[in-house]
């Protein structure tokens, strides 16, 4: 009786060991294939769950979940989803997703005028986040506006802020001129 019990325990342990080894091999192979993908996977800045390349259906779902008000428009070959009631970094913002061929091509975020520390915090958070993803980029200052630009595979990523008007403006994926 005890011999049968021992044998069944050993068979069970052997099956578990085989499963663990098989899972480990599959995990290793997927890591290798992800590391050596023939297609470049660009970093994508994500704001309020939206990013360049996201499908139109997913963008609509995000807008429905995040926005109090939402408006959809069709202009020429572009579909626009707009809202002025999305909260990003704890501050209200106007967000526009420009959709071409079923995917977000351009994402525009314009924070409402912010006061004092709120403006400084949002400005610094956005700058630091973008620099972590894309590096230092190009910085230009003209009068009261500061422009930060990064060129990527998906277009120009741009962050503009004005200390005079306490505004922060983000444009992701602008088509190259």
Q: SS3 sequence, 85-120?
A: EEEECCEEEEEEEEEECCEEEEEEEEECCCCHHHHH
- Is 99 a member of any domain? yes
Residue 30: per-residue pLDDT: 41
User: Is residue 139 domain-shared with residue 111, that is, in the same domain?
Assistant: yes
Residues 89 and 168 reside in one and the same domain: yes
Does 90 lie in the same domain as 170? Answer: yes
Determine the structural domain holding residue 8 and report its residue range: 1-38
Same-domain check for residues 164 and 89: yes
Task: Indicate if the pLDDT at residue 27 is higher than 60.
Answer: no
Which of 18-22, 40-44, 100-104, 153-157 reaches the highest mean pLDDT? 100-104
Other beta carbons less than 10 A from residue 161's beta carbon? 24
Q: Residue 1: is its pLDDT beyond 60?
A: no
Residue 82 within any structural domain of the chain: yes
Compute the average pLDDT of residues 64-81: 90
What's residue 76's pLDDT?
87
Q: In this structure, are 12 and 96 located in the same domain?
A: no
Structural domain count of the chain: 2
Tell me, yes or no, whether 15 and 70 share the same domain.
no
Average pLDDT, integer, range 11-16 = 73
At residue 174, the pLDDT reads 62
The answer to whether residues 93 and 143 belong to one domain is yes
Output the pLDDT for position 71.
Answer: 93
């Amino acid at each position: 009786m005890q011999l049968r019990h021992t044998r069944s325990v050993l068979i069970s342990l052997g099956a578990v060991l085989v499963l663990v080894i098989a899972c480990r091999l599959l995990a290793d192979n997927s890591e290798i294939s992800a590391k050596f993908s023939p297609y470049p996977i660009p970093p994508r800045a994500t704001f309020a769950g939206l990013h360049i390349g996201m499908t139109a259906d997913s963008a609509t779902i995000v807008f429905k979940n995040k926005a109090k008000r939402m408006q959809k428009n069709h202009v020429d070959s572009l579909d626009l989803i707009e809202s002025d009631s999305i909260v990003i970094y704890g501050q209200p913002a106007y967000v526009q997703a420009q959709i071409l061929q079923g995917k977000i091509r351009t994402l525009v975020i314009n924070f409402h005028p912010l006061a004092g520390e709120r403006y400084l915090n949002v400005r610094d958070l956005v700058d630091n986040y973008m620099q972590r993803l894309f590096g230092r980029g190009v910085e230009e200052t003209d009068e009261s506006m500061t422009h930060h630009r990064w060129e990527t595979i998906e277009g120009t990523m741009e962050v503009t802020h004005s200390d005079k008007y306490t505004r922060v403006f983000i444009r992701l994926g602008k088509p190259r001129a």
